[in-house]
């Protein structure tokens, strides 16, 4: 029987797929956190920041379901309403969440410092810029419009409602590859600030870069980060980096500005025939 040998890919990278909140816009991922908390607050339940942030990166409807399954929240809901939350409750909450996010987008769409220069640098290195988000198309279209006002236009935007399932499934990244016309998947790098971002990229067979400081895991505004005690900040960054590495992240950076240097390192690995799934 005749067999076909796969042609090795030796680089360089062709595309970077960026997350939105906490990676490209909305330093600290503040907007969605506020919306999730408000959805539950108006139903007489006060979720903690930890309860909200734990599932960040998921499709937003799935995020609500996961929060509703947290024992403390589920027990409070049952005590208030006499039953556990059901799908109709989550649909109602999702609609409320969507309304809150759209109304607050202008306030929480500021670009992460250095984004435009980083995107320009990556394009100068020959990369196209894709993106994925856990929002549906309605919120995503508003988000894109706000970012465009500030000069950010990724070449491709794929949201959770464009595919059968959002993160940690690979479908949004694969859709980026199709729309950008880029392959193999080892020629792409996923950049995000949540564990689900990293899993999304890994499941798609991509290189992955985790952001520690501008995103959901740190959960602080840019000003708050600047005002932190340097030793305390370093400890938190180390803790976040460790969690991301345990999740499988190939590289860890503080924010989007660290990505070009990682791209250069990945290109060196690819030139040696090393791919994302390899041990190195």
Kindly state the helix (H) or strand (E) to which residue 158 belongs, with its residue range. strand 158-159
Query: Are 240 and 218 in contact, with CB atoms under 8 Å apart?
Result: yes
Query: Are 234 and 194 in contact, with CB atoms under 8 Å apart?
Result: no
Tell me, yes or no, if 83 is annotated catalytic.
no
Tell me, yes or no, if 190 is annotated catalytic.
no
CA distances from 255 to 20, 51, 173, 183, 273 (A): 12, 24, 20, 26, 28
Polymer length in residues for the chain: 280
- The sheet with strand 207-211 has its strands ordered as 158-159, 128-133, 15-18, 188-192, 207-211, 251-253
Residue 71 CA to residue 79 CA, distance in Å, equals 12
| Selected catalytic residue, list 26, 60, 197, 255 | 60
Of the candidates 156, 179, 125, 172, the residue with the CA atom closest to the CA atom of residue 11:
125
Query: Are 156 and 131 in contact, with CB atoms under 8 Å apart?
Result: yes
| Selected catalytic residue, list 19, 59, 193, 197 | 19
Residue 223 CA to residue 114 CA, distance in Å, equals 15
Torsion of CA 211, 236, 47, 138, to 10 degrees: -10
Q: Please give the positions annotated as active site.
A: 19, 60
């Amino acid at each position: 029987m005749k067999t076909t040998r796969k042609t090795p890919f030796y680089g360089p990278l062709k595309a970077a797929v960026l997350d939105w909140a906490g990676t490209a816009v909305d330093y600290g991922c503040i907007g969605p956190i506020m919306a999730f908390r408000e959805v539950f607050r108006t139903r007489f339940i006060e979720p903690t920041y930890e309860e909200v942030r734990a599932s960040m990166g998921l499709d937003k409807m799935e995020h609500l379901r996961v929060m509703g399954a947290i024992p403390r929240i589920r027990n409070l809901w049952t005590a208030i309403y006499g039953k556990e939350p059901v799908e109709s409750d989550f649909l109602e909450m999702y609609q409320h969440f969507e309304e809150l996010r759209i109304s607050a987008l202008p306030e929480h769409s500021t670009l992460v410092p250095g984004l435009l220069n980083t995107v320009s640098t990556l394009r100068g290195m020959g990369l196209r810029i894709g993106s994925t988000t856990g929002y549906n198309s309605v919120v995503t279209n508003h988000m894109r419009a706000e970012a465009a006002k500030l000069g950010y236009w990724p070449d491709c935007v794929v949201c959770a409602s464009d595919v059968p399932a959002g993160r940690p499934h690979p479908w949004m990244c694969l859709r980026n590859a199709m729309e950008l016309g880029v392959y193999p998947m080892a020629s792409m790098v996923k950049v995000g600030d949540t564990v689900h971002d990293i899993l999304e990229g890994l499941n798609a067979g991509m290189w992955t870069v985790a952001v520690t400081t501008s995103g959901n895991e740190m959960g602080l505004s840019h000003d708050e980060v600047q005002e932190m005690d340097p030793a305390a900040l370093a400890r938190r960054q180390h803790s976040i980096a460790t969690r991301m590495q345990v999740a499988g992240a190939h590289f860890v950076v503080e924010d989007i500005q660290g990505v070009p240097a990682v791209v250069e390192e990945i290109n060196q690995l690819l030139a040696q025939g090393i791919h994302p799934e390899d041990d190195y």
